[in-house]
Chains A and B, each alone.
Chain A
Amino acid sequence: MKYLRNEWDRAGAWLCVTAGAVALVVGYFGVSGTLETGKQLPYVVSGGMAGLFLLGLGALLWVSADLRDEWRKLDAIDRHLLDGGTLPQAPAGPGATPPEPQEPFVPQEVSLR
C-alpha cells in the first residue's frame, strides 16, 4: 500500500504495460481466429492500437517518474546550496552536547557524475 501511495506513477506504469501486453495478445488471438478482414479490423484497433497506446502510456509514466525524481534531487541540492552548504543539525535535547562552531562555508565543486 505504501509503495502504491509513494510510487503511484511507477505502479501505474506497470499496470498500463501489463494491460497493453494483454490487449496485444487478445488482439492477436482475435485477428488469428478469423479469415474475414471485416471481423479482424476491430481487433486491430482495440487490441493492437489500444495495446500500443497503453504501452506508450506506461513508458510515459515510468520515464516521467524518473524525471520527477531527478527534479527533486536538484531541488534538494538547490536547497542545500541556499542553506549555506551545511548539514542539518540534530535537535538539541536535555542531554545533548552543544554543537561545535562551524567553519565558514566554502563553496565546493559539485558534480552529478
Chain B
Amino acid sequence: MTTTMAVGAAATPWSAKQRLLLAALLLIGVVGLIAGYVGTSGTLRVSRQVAWVNVAAAALLASGTGVVLFLTAARREIGRRRLSLFGDVIVGREEASDLGAGVGAADLVSAPTMTKYHRADCSFVAGKPALAVATAVNHQKIGKRPCGVCLPGGAS
C-alpha cells in the first residue's frame, strides 16, 4: 500500500527522536513501578518500603513528563504546519478589516428581517445567511438605519 504525502511533510507530527524519548520514559515508568512493587512486597518493614515507593513515584513522574512532552511537541508541530498552510488568521482578518474600511458603500449589507444595515465585516452579520448588498442610500430608502456598532458609511 502506498500513501501520497505532501512535499516536505512527515507521516506523523512526531520525530523519531521524540518517539524514542517517550518510549524511554515510559520504559522507565514501567521498570520503576515493577521495581517499586517487588521492593515493597519483599518486606513488611515500612522504613524499607518507603524507598521503593519513592522509586515508583519518581518513575511515574518520569513517564508523565514523557507523555506531556510528547503531546505538546505534536501540538506545536501541528500549529506550525497550520501557520505555514493558512498563515496567521488573526493578522489576515485585521488586514481584511482595514481594507474593508476603505471600500465604502458597496460593502454595506442587511437582511429582510433586519432593521439596520451593517458593514460586511460587522460581528452582527457574521455567519448570517441571505444578506443583501446595497448602498447606504438604498438601505435608507427601505427604512433601514445604520448600525451603531460598525458605523457603516462613517455614520456616528
Contact = CB atoms under 8 A, between A and B. Distances in A.
A68 B13 CA distance: 7
B12 A71 contact: yes
A64 B78 CA distance: 12
A49 B9 CA distance: 38
B42 to A, nearest CB: 9
Interface in B103-119: none
B43 A49 contact: no
B40 A59 contact: no
B50 to A, nearest CB: 8
Nearest to A47: B37
Interface residues of B, number: 40
Interface string B46-81: 100110110011001001100100110011001001
A66 B33 CA distance: 28
Contacts, number: 93
Nearest to B8: A78
A45 B44 contact: no
Interface residues of A, number: 35
Interface in A42-92: 42, 44-46, 49-50, 52-53, 56-57, 59-60, 63-64, 67-68, 70-71, 74-75, 77-79, 81-82
B40 A41 contact: yes
B4 interface: yes
A56 B63 CA distance: 9
B82 A74 contact: yes
Interface in A1-46: 36-39, 41-42, 44-46
Contact of A45 (B26, B36, B86): B36
Interface of B: 4-7, 9, 12-13, 26, 29-30, 33, 36-37, 40-41, 43-46, 49-50, 52-53, 56-57, 60, 63-64, 67, 70-71, 74-75, 78, 81-82, 85-86, 89, 92
Interface of A: 36-39, 41-42, 44-46, 49-50, 52-53, 56-57, 59-60, 63-64, 67-68, 70-71, 74-75, 77-79, 81-82, 109-113
Given A49-B33, A52-B60, A79-B4, 10 more contacts: A41-B40, A45-B53, A46-B33, A49-B57, A50-B37, A56-B67, A57-B26, A57-B67, A60-B67, A71-B78
